[in-house]
Structure 1
Amino acid sequence: MKIVPVVAAIFMSLAATVSTPALAGTLQCVPYARAQSGIDLHGNAATWWDQAEGTYSRGNSPRAGSVLVFKASRAMRVGHVAVVDRIVDDRHVVLNHANWSRPGMIEKSAMAEDVSEKGDWSSVRVWYSPTHSLGLRASPAFGFIYANGSNGGSEVGSTPTAKMPSDAFQAAFSDLPKQG
């Protein structure tokens, strides 16, 4: 009956490699944004805005390397954070983020559009991979948290840096990944 312990040991070793639920190791937006931006905040994404007060500069102008903080909403119960890769024009940026279009999926070069009336990034549409377009839903946002020492310094509300000319919008948008 020595076969039973061997079979059991094989089964246990195989189970250890495949028994983890698919979502248990899913990368969330918070650790991804923290690693990519150097902004050392923790907890749900929607709490980052208040946590940043007194530690990091905040504002409503995007800067390369800053983190766009989305408010909690019915569609995003804990908010969302995304890192600004580059600025296309006053109303468009390119984001890198995780867990937006699909659980755990890292998206690089995802277009985001400011659809707020005042142009203050308080309402944003973001590239949604399953539809290969900007999302139909506008998501509420607090604004941007600036990494200390990153592009743009610490002046809140200053002019965006690393800005592309407006005519480059179409070129930047056409390079977006067609993931599904």
Structure 2
Amino acid sequence: MVAQPAQARLQCVPYARDHSGIELRGNAHLWWGAAEGRYERGQEPEVGAVMAFRSSRAMPLGHVAVVAQVIDERHILIDHANWSTPGGIETGVPVVDVSEAGDWSEVRVWYGPSGSLGSRHNPVAGFIYAGSAPSVQPVITVAQASLPDNIGG
């Protein structure tokens, strides 16, 4: 498998925002927390979801990428920017889940200059799904519903 480079130059955050429909701002390592309550989050890759990488020594600002295809339970393809070359855009990039638990918490990503999967294990927070998070409705008990407005707080 070979990742296909595109011609434009961009950073990962605006690329992920433009290609996923997820409207988050700020550095990539902040996306996972910023998505809480706004977007569904989870540990399973889905096409169109944003894979949110945690910050690490090699990636102090984290990284975000869009899932382009789910191949099987341990392999996906992503589209992203600013990975193999500064500002470069790559599509159809292979990613392998190398976590012991098979929970996508650690991955290896194709690295263009080497023509293979990078040797570095990259920490992942999880996946942010393009649909918004469900609204939480307050639970009202029958006793509360029958109280006058000025009682029961």
TM-score band (shorter)? 0.7 to 0.9
User: Is it true that 1:74 corresponds to 2:62 in the alignment?
Assistant: no
- 2:9–2:89: 8 Å Cα contact kept in structure 1? no
Q: 1:90 aligns with which of 48, 73, 76?
A: 73
% identity of equivalent residues: 57
**What's the secondary structure of 1:148's corresponding residue?**
strand
Correspondence for 1:43: 26
Structure 1 equivalent of residue 117 of structure 2: 134
Name the structure where helix makes up a greater proportion of residues: 1
1:30 to 13, 23, 30: 13
Once residues 91 and 127 of structure 1 are traced to their aligned partners in structure 2, the CA distance between those partners, rounded to angstroms, is 14
Where does the alignment leave 5 or more consecutive residues of structure 2 unmatched? 1-7, 135-153
What TM-score comes out, normalization by structure 1 length?
0.68
Misfit runs of 4+, over 4 Å: none
| TM alignment of 1:5-16, pairs within 5 A | none
Counterpart for residue 54 of structure 1: 37
Alignment correspondent of 1:106: 89
Specify the code of the residue in structure 2 equivalent to 1:78: L
Query: What displacement does 1:26 show?
Result: 5.2
Instruction: Give the letter for the 2:12 counterpart.
Output: C
Map 1:95-174 onto structure 2 (within 5 A).
95-148=78-131
Deviations 1:140-171 (A, max 9, x none): 0101000017xxx98xxxxxxxxxxxxxxxxx
> Which structure: greater strand fraction?
2
Amino acid at match of 2:72: D
Structure 1: which 5+ runs fail to align?
1-24, 155-180
Q: Which secondary structure does the structure 2 equivalent of 1:130 belong to?
A: helix
Aligned to 1:82, the other structure's residue is in SS state: strand
TM (norm. structure 2) is 0.80
SS in structure 1 at match of 2:131: coil
Alpha-carbon displacement from aligned partner over 1:25-75 (angstroms, at most 9, x marks no partner): 951100000000000001000100000000000000000000000000000
Q: Which amino acid aligns with 1:80?
A: H
Q: How many residues are aligned here? A: 127
SS at match of 2:120: coil
